[in-house]
Structure 1
Amino acid sequence: MALDLFAGIPVTEYAAALEWYERLLGSPPAFLPNDTEAVWELAEHRYVFIEQRPGRAGHALHTIFVDDLDAIVAQITERGLDPAERETYSNGVRKITYRDPDGNEIGFGGAPL
């Protein structure tokens, strides 16, 4: 079965969110479907997108698992964003959470060291 994933993040102000997500994800969007939506391809057939939808903004909760959590966090820090929260679960899995200007939570997780 072929599978594509589009994970949406509603935002209040498109322009401000676009800048913030470019810093978080380290690149401009892969494509812009319209004037109020931007899409990043995180991996083949796996996308995250922002869309200006003020009435729904601030409620997204997404976690992206990566191979090298420390490297990703260091790169994001170099781009001027600091984590809102750092967690280590009882099984050793770590999660670093960022919050966009609307309060949407984007976490990056990684396996134990």
Structure 2
Amino acid sequence: MAVDLFAGIPVSDYASALAWYQRLLGSPPTFVASDTEAVWELAEHRSVFIEQRPGRAGHAMHTIFVDDLDTLVAQIADRGLEPTKRETYPNGVRKAKYQDPDGNEIEFGGAPL
């Protein structure tokens, strides 16, 4: 069975969120769907999007697993963002959490070293 993922992140201020997510994700959106919605394709058939929805802003929680967590965290730091929390689970899986200005939580996870 093929699986596509289109994960939404409600934000209160589209313009400021757009700038923040460009820093977090390291690129402009893959496409802009409307004046209040932008989409980043992270991998084939796997996308995240921000949409201005002030009443729902701040409640997203997404975790994205990557091959090289340390390199990604360093690249994001070079763009001026630092994790709000880092965690290592007993099985060695690690996570770095980022919070956008609305409080949405975007975590990047990586396999044990």
TM-score, reference length from structure 1? 0.99
Q: How far 1:3 sits from its partner (Å)?
A: 2.2
In structure 1, what residue type is equivalent to 2:18?
L
2:58 aligns to what? 58
Q: Within 5 A, what are the aligned runs for 1:1-113?
A: 1-113=1-113
Report the Cα distance in structure 1 between the residues aligned to 2:4 and 2:72, rounded to whole angstroms: 23
For these two proteins, the number of residue pairs brought into alignment is 113
Report the Cα distance in structure 2 between the residues aligned to 1:27 and 1:105, rounded to whole angstroms: 19
Residues 57-113 of structure 1 deviation map (CA, whole Å, 9 limit, x = unaligned) = 000000000000000000000000010000000101000000000000000000010
- Identify unmatched segments of 5+ residues in structure 2: none
Query: Structure 1 stretches (4+) deviating beyond 4 angstroms?
Result: none
Q: How far 1:4 sits from its partner (Å)?
A: 1.5
- Identify unmatched segments of 5+ residues in structure 1: none
Secondary structure (helix, strand or coil) at the match of 1:55 reads coil
Q: What percentage of aligned pairs have identical amino acids? A: 79
TM-score, reference length from structure 2? 0.99
Report the Cα distance in structure 2 between the residues aligned to 1:88 and 1:39, rounded to whole angstroms: 30
In structure 2, what residue type is equivalent to 1:70?
D
In structure 2, what residue type is equivalent to 1:97?
K
